[in-house]
A and B are shown apart, each in its own frame.
Chain A
Amino acid sequence: MRRIKSIPAKGLKTPAGTTARTFILTFFSVLFSTAMAVRRFPKPEFETNYIQPSTQIPVPRAELLAYLDVFVLLVSLSIVTWLILKKRSRLWVFAMSVFSLAYFGFYREGCVCSIGAIQNVSLALFDNTFVLPLSVLLFFILPLVFTAFFGRTFCAAVCPFGAMQDFFAFKPQALSSRLNTVLGILPYLYLGLAVLFAATGTDFIICRYDPFVGIFRFNASFGMFLFSGILLLSGVFIARPYCRFLCPYGVLLNWTSRFSRRHLTITPKECIQCRLCEHSCPYDAIEVPVTSKSPESRPVRVRKMMILTVFVPFIVLVFGYAGSRMQDTLAGVDSRVKLAKEVMALSGKQDAGYGMQDAGYKMQDDSYEIKAYKASGKTESQVYSEASAVVKKFYIGGWLFGGFIGLAIALMIGGRIMPVYRTDYVTSKGRCFSCLRCVDYCPVKS
């Protein structure tokens, strides 16, 4: 009771002692100054032998350890590649994926990762001030180089995300080839958006919506845990859903792998057409022989090719235009543009000339953004010119993003209408994760 009584009713009306008087004075002085490091109170001169403690600054993880990660990546890539191409042992590949999940996943907590490195590389390309650590660059490059020579061995057992989902592929169901193709567009969208937002310095969406990092850290928002839970559980039936239908790095690996020098083959020798492997792939990455349809005649193929050469640029342009029209929506995500909108609403202007007219923007009068803007001493026009630079970037970026999606769709349609002819069961070099499940089904042993 006594303590409650001692709290004055309002504000600072009852100063106690000399210190409090200084307190009041300084209170008014801060109203007019924003300078932070002001010595309002002198350094005390202690009479007792008090020793001032030193400020503890914890040191970050040693730089050298970043190169240890690169070393582990290199070694595990080499081992996994050897296991896949030479030893052809599913069990050992599985063991390696346990190691990768433990090291890159639970020990390194999913960071640094090759998937996220896409964003660092894109930002470094477009922003001179961004410092790209060499280790991150190597994380981006090394799996691609390995894939160019040996196929997607990175996906097989080095990527912790893939390893984690691989454990959940208990009852994989085959999806129709059409569904696979349509859902296969999603990674292109994700990649395009990730590069666009990273290159404009807006956001790193791959890291932001990473479903697995939260599991590795045992620490995430409820929404992200829900997302990763759904993803992992759906992975019981749709094997590796993230890798196949979301992973943006997978797009790069897919295209690199198509031109790989060597690649896992289902059979070590000749295919004997036993069909045992036909349903062994959880990822629908085995191409069945197409012999029933005889190869089309040359004029038909030429005509299709000609239609494609007209159709592809057309669809690229249409999508590019659509992308450029999305500049307002895309740029609206950027914090600099958001600030310009708030400042514009604050000043009551309809069009501040930074490329966007959003008069209906709901203004929070005392938002922290506005407070920080007022404290920073920036002028209104500075805010607008920053925003207009961002909007311009999104205009160009929108064209490129749209064009990229258009190209992906056009190539997919092209891939579906062009005739295929093959006699054997083969792995699709682009989509195969080299997990070696099919190898166990093949009765031909070397």
Chain B
Amino acid sequence: MSRIAARFAALKADGRGGLIPFLEAWDPDGATSMALLRGMPAAGADLIEIGMPFTDPMADGPIIQAAARRGLIAGVKVRFILDMVREFRKDDQATPIILMGYLNPILSYGPQKFCEDAGQAGVDGMIIVDLPTEEADLMLPHATANGIDFIRLVAPTTDDVRLPHVLNGSSGFVYYVSITGITGTRSASSADLAAAIPRIRKVTDLPIAIGFGVRTPAQAAEASKVADAAVVASALIETMAAHLDEDGKAKPGTVELVLAQVRALADGVRGR
């Protein structure tokens, strides 16, 4: 069983939904984001999403755009992100890692080589924002061959006719983009989520994670209850961004602050 499937099975046995915190690789530098990654499981992360910086993140709002820019200024490369995962796996064999990014850096690295290297580094899943089902054949065979789940985005605009087509060949879990919009802008209402998730459940047995607009422990608790997991990104990055010094370096205690926020979110999904 894959790490992702095993983790969702364990969550189900626990009778709760999961928390998926997000960090942007090398925001604001390699050491800080590595420390954050290492600290996340103990803070209550059930799965972890790592953002791969890109110069032109078209689905992201200002908060994640800025995080990507900090990562790029710090000198992040695709191979350094795989190094982070390899390093993380030395101590943690259980927590699933999902890479989320845009296609061009992966294309430049080479789709096959990327999937081989990512699989060996210990990556469990990937989400490529600008690779819709219509173009998925570019990556899917390589992902499958290397045991990496190809996680699909489903949006409110994905209608019932299109839904089975979008989920065809998807594995791991389904990422529900809960708003029509970019990251870090607004949140879906409870009514929207209550309507959307059963619609997806009709078409798939895969677990569903809700992302875009999940910010607070209460929202994370609700999303993880309606679905199977909640992704929190912009709210954590905001905390990081608020504690950078004039040179863009993290002030002492920043990692701990973000991890404390992860802990509060984790308490939320655990109903504490």
Does A pair with B? no
Residues on A facing B (Cβ under 8 Å): none
Residues on B facing A (Cβ under 8 Å): none
